[in-house]
Structure 1
Amino acid sequence: MGEKKRREETQMPFVFERKNYKFMLIGIAVIILGFILMTGGGSDDPNVFNPAIYNWQRIRLAPALILIGFGIEVYAILLNPHKKD
């Protein structure tokens, strides 16, 4: 019995709680979505210009999603799950 108690005492606790990790995963998903939306729009032929590279999705939406994702990550790090609302 004493050995089990010593193992429990020496275990390192997690830095964050379950709620923090949920928000971190949501933030990472939003960042990945932003990078996915930013891809594409190129041309196979370097001599041909493709105006799709200046699409609203790539210029406005994708960077906004990436910044929002980083904001969610900061919130997840600073979130105190023990605080009562």
Structure 2
Amino acid sequence: MENRNRFAFGKKNYLIMFAGIIVLALGFIIMSLDKEQYGLGFMGITLGPIVVLIGFAIEFMAIFYKDKTNA
């Protein structure tokens, strides 16, 4: 009988996912802190969305990360 890992991801994957969630939340917080009307300032239009995209990239990397020790 094969001893397989029951989880889809390893510990490092979940840590990277958690970091991505933090970055995503930070991006949305940055967008909400914009003081311009309707959020049309630099933070709401440029900085916040860039941070959110970085967060999604981190989540994407967490899904496809393969630990070398478990191979």
The one-letter code sitting in structure 2 at the alignment partner of 1:73 is: E
| Correspondence 1:76 to 2:62 | yes
1:13-36 deviation per Cα after TM superposition (whole angstroms, max 9, x unaligned): 111001100100000000000111
Gaps of 5+ in 2: none
The residue aligned with 2:50 is 64
Q: CA deviation at 1:64?
A: 0.3
Q: Which structure is higher in helix share?
A: 2
CA distance in 2, matches of 1:71, 1:58: 19
Aligned to 1:3: none
Q: Which runs of 5+ in 1 are unaligned?
A: 1-8, 43-49
Work out the percentage of aligned pairs sharing the same amino acid: 38
Counterpart for residue 25 of structure 1: 18
Moved over 3 A (4+): none
TM-score of the two chains, using structure 2 as the length reference: 0.78
**TM-score of the two chains, using structure 1 as the length reference:** 0.67
Larger Rg: 1
* Aligned CA-pair RMSD: 2.4
Aligned to 1:16, what secondary structure does the other structure show? coil
